[in-house]
Amino acid sequence: MTLLTTWPETGPDALVRRTSDPVEIAAALAPIGVRYEQWPVREDVPADADSDTVFTAYRAEIDKLNAEEGFQTVDVVALHPSEDPQWPAKAAAARQKFLAEHTHDDDDEVRFFVAGAGIFYLHVAGEVHAVYCEKGDLLGVPRGTTHWFDMGTSPAFTAIRFFHEEDGWIGNFTGSPIAERFPDFDEIHAGYAA
């Protein structure tokens, strides 16, 4: 289940909002320009499915979103635990890339979770919104929105990425240590799963 937790930007000592209701989540995020919706989950698509399988399963939804938004590039990104002895180092490096607060000047950050989970932290208007996304969730973070992403210390997800620009993901890092003040993926996931 998806979870939205909102705190003041000063830290997680005070809670502004916490909900797992998809309608409430969409309504809370809409005023800051963030798109949240749920697509039908294809239970026959394995968590580690290849790109062709994912594209085939979600073709109707991808085509509809492309028609609405005019995306130039759509791809599938996946990160799942592996027996590879290099896996822990690869996972840590992948996670570190997104943990710092940043913006995107030229594109929105739009992701649909085919499998697994991740958290987008949105720092907007004096608040931090942690959106725990799972299988079936689509989140669209508008260009210019200050945010960061955490996939946890043992990433396990498959997501469809949508880009208006062919260059893809280009982050402008703010240099702020704000992400260090808030619960990370592992903390939120452990509390949510309990």
**In the chain, domain spans:** 3-193
Q: Is 109 known as a binding-site position?
A: yes
Give the other-Cβ count within 10 Å of 187's Cβ.
Answer: 14
d(CA 193, CA 23): 21
Q: Is 147 known as a binding-site position?
A: yes
Nearest Cα to Cα of residue 21 among 39, 1, 41? 1
**Domain 3-193 fold:** Jelly Rolls (2.60.120)
**pTM of the entire structure?**
0.94
Q: Is 123 known as a binding-site position?
A: no
- Tens place of pLDDT for every residue, the chain, 194 residues? 799 999 999 999 999 999 999 999 999 999 999 999 999 999 999 988 999 999 999 999 999 999 999 998 999 999 998 888 888 898 898 898 899 999 998 889 999 999 999 999 999 999 999 999 999 999 999 999 999 999 999 999 999 999 987 766 677 889 999 999 999 999 999 986 54
